Chains A and B, each alone.
Chain A
Amino acid sequence: DTAVSQTPKYLVTQMGNDKSIKCEQNLGHDTMYWYKQDSKKFLKIMFSYNNKELIINETVPNRFSPKSPDKAHLNLHINSLELGDSAVYFCASSHDQLGRRLTQYFGPGTRLTVL
C-alpha cells in the first residue's frame, strides 16, 4: 500500500508553462510538506500545511502556490516555470500528536525538468 504518493513522477515542460504536482497520503496524517531537492541533492523545505492551514512558507517565489483541499492532499502549482525550477520535488506527511511533531514520511518525488 502506498503511504505518500505523488503524480506525476516525471514532468518535462517548456519555460513559461504552468504545471501542477499532486500529493496524497493515506496515513491519516494532519501535516503535509513540500520539499525541493536541487541538483546537488540538497533538500530544503518549501511549504507545510497542518489541517489545511498554511504554517510554513519559506522564501519561495510566489509563482509557487500550494493548495490543500483536504488533510490527505497537498498539491503544488507552479506558474511561469523557469529553468531554475528544475529539481526533484518531494511531498511528505507527519502526524502532529499532542503538540509533538512526529516522523515525516516522504513520497517518491517528482522530477521536474524545465527546458
Chain B
Amino acid sequence: SQELEQSPQSLIVQEGKNLTINCTSSKTLYGLYWYKQKYGEGLIFLMMLQKGGEEKSHEKITAKLDEKKQQSSLHITASQPSHAGIYLCGARPLGINSGGSNYKLTFGKGTLLTVNP
C-alpha cells in the first residue's frame, strides 16, 4: 500500500518567516492533494498537483510536485498567524483507473504549524 511521509511533524515559526513542508511517497503519485485543518474543523482543500514538475500557488502558499512524482513540497512565504494549523498531504495511487482503489486518498500524518506573532 502507498505510504506518505510528511516532514517535519511540527514546526514553530515567527510571523513573517518562510517555511517548507515536505511530503514523500513510497510510490509514484497519480494525484497529490494538500489540505489544511484548523483545530476542531474540517479539512480545507488547498491545491492539487498531478503532473511531474507542476507548481501551483494560492496567495502566499506554493506547492510543487517533483519530476518523478514522488515528492511534493508546500512553501509558505511571509507566514502569518492565520496560516497556523495542520497541513496534510493526500495522494491517489498511480495507474489504477478502475475499481475502488483509485477513489481513496491515503494521507500523511500531518504537519502541525504554529506561527508566533
A103 in the interface, Cβ–Cβ < 8 Å?
yes
- How near does chain A come to B62, taking the closest CB pair, in angstroms? 18
The total of interchain contacts (Cβ-Cβ below 8 angstroms) comes to 66
Q: Which residues of A are found within 8 Å of B99, using beta-carbon distances?
A: 55
Chain A residues 90-112 with CB under 8 Å of chain B are 90, 92, 94, 96, 99, 101, 103-109, 111
Chain A at the B interface: mostly helix, strand, loop or mixed? strand
User: Which of A31, A41, A58 is B110 in contact with, Cβ under 8 Å?
Assistant: A41
- B35–A45 touching, CB < 8 Å: no
Within residues 1 to 58 of chain B, which ones have a CB less than 8 A from any CB in chain A? 31, 33, 35, 37, 40-45, 48
Q: Contacts A103-B48, A104-B33 known; A33 to B86 CB distance under 8 Å?
A: no
In the complex, the answer to whether B104 meets A45 with C-beta atoms within 8 Å is yes
Which residues of B come within 8 Å of A, CB atoms?
31, 33, 35, 37, 40-45, 48, 86, 88, 90, 92, 97-107, 109-110, 112
